[in-house]
């Protein structure tokens, strides 16, 4: 199996995260697995966004004034209908990625990303198809504040995926095992991934999931051969995040990960080649 390269938030070297411009750039490079984040609006639209709010450094208000970090308390997406969210420009470059260009873009609907990216690939005559690795942003202690309860939240995402006819090309991942469990109960045939940022509770939470996910995706700093062996013995793959330095990418491959999630897909392609 080829070593998989996932463009984290669409890749962040050239364009702002989770933007249509970033996704189109990634597939033009040859990337065929996109990692992207989803949240939910007040009117239960599934919005592509890492954060459950609008704030600096990405966004400016409808009058063109850049937002501050404090605006995250003012513009919570679950308190806003999507028509209002779409009046904010979220194409400001991030200072951590000096190669990013300024673009005019909004936080898109997931349905728009599906439609526009599939159409873009056809119009450009690109080979292959895209797999969408959706991270559902969920916080158990923020239910009713940032998102609806897990069963309702999972249903909204899965209904959209199924309506788009993309069930075979979508993966669902989350740090919230309660949400993953609800999604699996609704559709056990989808591909699921459990995100972890610490290893100590991994076995306990895997038991509480009630099913074995296809992937456990850890922060790369947690990865070692012992973790790989423990997961592979259960038939679970491992795709670490967010692997940005060349030496880290090589280490993940050598340990035996199935792939990486990276902000720098160009670097990964230079090491491993364009994915088949």
Contact 129, 169 (CB under 8 A): yes
Q: What integer is the mean pLDDT of 106-129?
A: 98
d(CA 107, CA 248): 31
Residue 43's CB: how many other CB atoms inside 10 A? 11
Q: Coil, helix or strand for 188?
A: coil
Q: Looking at the predicted structure, is the pLDDT value of residue 275 above 80?
A: no
pTM for this predicted structure: 0.98
pLDDT at res. 234 = 95
> What would the pLDDT profile of 53-107 be if each residue is shown by its tens digit?
999 999 999 999 999 999 999 999 999 999 999 999 999 999 999 999 999 999 9
Segment 235-247 mean pLDDT: 98
And the tokens for 83? 């028509």
Domains of the chain and any CATH numbers: 4-53+108-272 (3.20.20.190)
CB atoms within 10 A of CB 46: 22
Pinpoint the alpha helices (H) of 42-137: 82-85, 110-123
The mean predicted confidence, pLDDT, of the chain is: 97
Quick: pLDDT tens for 191-230: 999 999 998 878 888 988 999 999 999 999 999 999 999 9
Q: Where in the chain does DSSP place strands (E)?
A: 4-8, 33-40, 46-48, 131-136, 170-174, 191-196, 215-218, 259-262
Output the pLDDT for position 191.
98
What's the mean pLDDT in 130-146?
98
pLDDT at position 274 is 87
Across the range 6-16, mean pLDDT stands at: 98
Per-residue pLDDT, averaged over 134-158, amounts to 98
Residue 208 is given by DSSP the state H
pLDDT at 6 exceeding the cut of 70:
yes
H or E, element range at 81: none
What is the reported pLDDT for 276? 66
């Amino acid at each position: 199996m080829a070593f998989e390269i996932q463009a984290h938030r669409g890749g962040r070297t050239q364009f702002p995260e989770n933007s249509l411009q970033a996704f189109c750039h990634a597939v033009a490079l040859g990337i065929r697995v996109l990692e992207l984040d989803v949240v939910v609006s007040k009117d239960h639209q599934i919005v592509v966004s890492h954060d459950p709010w609008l704030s600096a450094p990405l966004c400016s208000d409808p009058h063109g004034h850049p937002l501050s970090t404090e605006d995250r308390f003012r513009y919570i997406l679950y308190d806003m209908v999507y028509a209002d969210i779409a009046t904010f420009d979220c194409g400001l470059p991030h200072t951590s990625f000096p190669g990013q260009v300024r673009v005019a873009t909004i936080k898109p609907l997931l349905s728009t990303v599906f439609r526009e990216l599939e159409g873009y690939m056809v119009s450009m005559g690109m080979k292959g198809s895209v797999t969408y690795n959706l991270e559902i942003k969920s916080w158990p202690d923020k239910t009713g504040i940032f998102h609806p309860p897990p069963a309702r939240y999972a249903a909204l995402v899965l209904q959209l995926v199924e309506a788009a006819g993309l069930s075979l090309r979508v993966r669902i991942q989350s740090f919230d095992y309660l949400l993953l469990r609800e999604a699996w109960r609704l559709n056990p045939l989808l591909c699921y991934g459990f995100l972890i940022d610490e290893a100590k509770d991994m076995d306990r939470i895997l038991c509480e999931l009630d099913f074995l996910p296809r992937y456990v995706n850890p922060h790369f700093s947690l990865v070692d051969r012992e973790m790989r062996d423990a997961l592979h013995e259960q038939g679970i793959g491992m795709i670490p995040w967010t692997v940005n330095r060349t030496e880290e990418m090589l280490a993940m491959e050598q340990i035996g990960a199935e792939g990486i999630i990276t902000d720098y897909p160009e670097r990964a392609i230079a090491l491993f080649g364009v994915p088949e």
